[in-house]
């Protein structure tokens, strides 16, 4: 079943209905869902999310997960990561985007490229492009983040670019422990080495991740690699300890 409008538009309809008829928001959401043919808003969200690659991936994430999203430039790794943040926010959680690459205007453009109006997520989305971004900084900024918050880190290979920052092999385990303790999902955007040859295998994998400094990639619970609009998602070899 196709929805009559995007999720954010249906949610706006529910808010307007809530104000107009003095209904609790959850009742207004359920009424809008009924108009779309669903017994409740939760069922509508589950159905809508299950039909998109990001929705399918998000449904498999667990609080505490570290996720690696890798692709060559221009193949959609940033858009996929933002779509995961959108899925989290649509589910009632928060989204945070740490970047050493993009400006606020860049991220607004990318939201709109995936058909999302950023204004609909005011109050639940946070953008941070401080030059100080590293594991210690991220942990400090997320000290009060609620369980279920999805955090995008753009990107893995820049975390230790400054000499005063610890190596990735130190920072990633720190972030892993923090995510486990707080029930957060951390999504790391990753570069892929130029040696990756799409004519020899359809998707890059962990062996193609560009690593200027050593890092145990089994620290990641799940991986998502993209190439020419196609996606491969896998559970990694790491274990919950």
In the chain, % helix, strand, coil (3-state, to 5) comes to 40, 15, 40
Give the pTM.
0.80
Q: Residue ranges of the domains in the chain?
A: 7-50, 53-235
- Residue 237's pLDDT band (boundaries 50, 70, 90)? low
Q: Which residue has the higher pLDDT, 55 or 70?
A: 70
- Asked if CATH classification 3.90.1150.10 holds for the domain at 53-235, the reply, yes or no, is no
Q: Which residue in this structure is represented by tokens 């996606």?
A: 231
pLDDT of residue 127: 97
pLDDT in tens, 157-209: 999 999 999 999 999 999 999 999 999 999 999 999 999 999 999 999 999 99
Residue 116's SS3 state is: coil
pLDDT of residue 50: 66
Stated as kind and residue range, the H or E segment containing 231 is: strand 230-235
pLDDT in tens, 69-89: 999 999 999 999 999 999 999
């Amino acid at each position: 079943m196709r929805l009559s409008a995007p999720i954010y538009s249906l949610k706006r309809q529910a808010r307007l209905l809530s104000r107009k008829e003095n209904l609790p928001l959850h009742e207004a959401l359920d009424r809008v869902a009924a108009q779309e043919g669903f017994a409740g808003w939760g069922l509508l969200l589950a159905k809508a999310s299950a039909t998109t690659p990001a929705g399918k991936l998000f449904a498999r994430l667990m609080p505490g997960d570290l996720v690696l999203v890798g692709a060559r430039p221009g193949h959609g790794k940033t858009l996929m990561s933002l779509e995961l943040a959108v899925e989290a926010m649509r589910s009632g959680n928060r989204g945070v985007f740490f970047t050493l690459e993009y400006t606020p205007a860049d991220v607004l453009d990318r939201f709109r490229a995936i058909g999302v109006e950023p204004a609909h997520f005011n109050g639940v989305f946070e953008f941070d492009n401080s030059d100080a971004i590293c594991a210690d900084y991220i942990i400090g900024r997320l000290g009060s983040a609620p369980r279920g918050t999805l955090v995008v880190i753009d990107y893995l290979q820049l975390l230790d670019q400054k000499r005063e920052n610890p190596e990735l092999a130190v920072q990633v385990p720190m972030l892993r422990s923090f995510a486990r303790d707080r029930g957060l999902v951390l999504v790391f955007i990753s570069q892929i080495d130029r040696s990756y040859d799409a004519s020899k295998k359809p998707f890059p994998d962990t062996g193609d991740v560009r690593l200027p400094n050593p890092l145990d990639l089994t620290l990641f619970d799940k991986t998502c690699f993209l190439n020419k609009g196609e996606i491969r998602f896998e559970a990694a070899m790491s274990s919950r300890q």
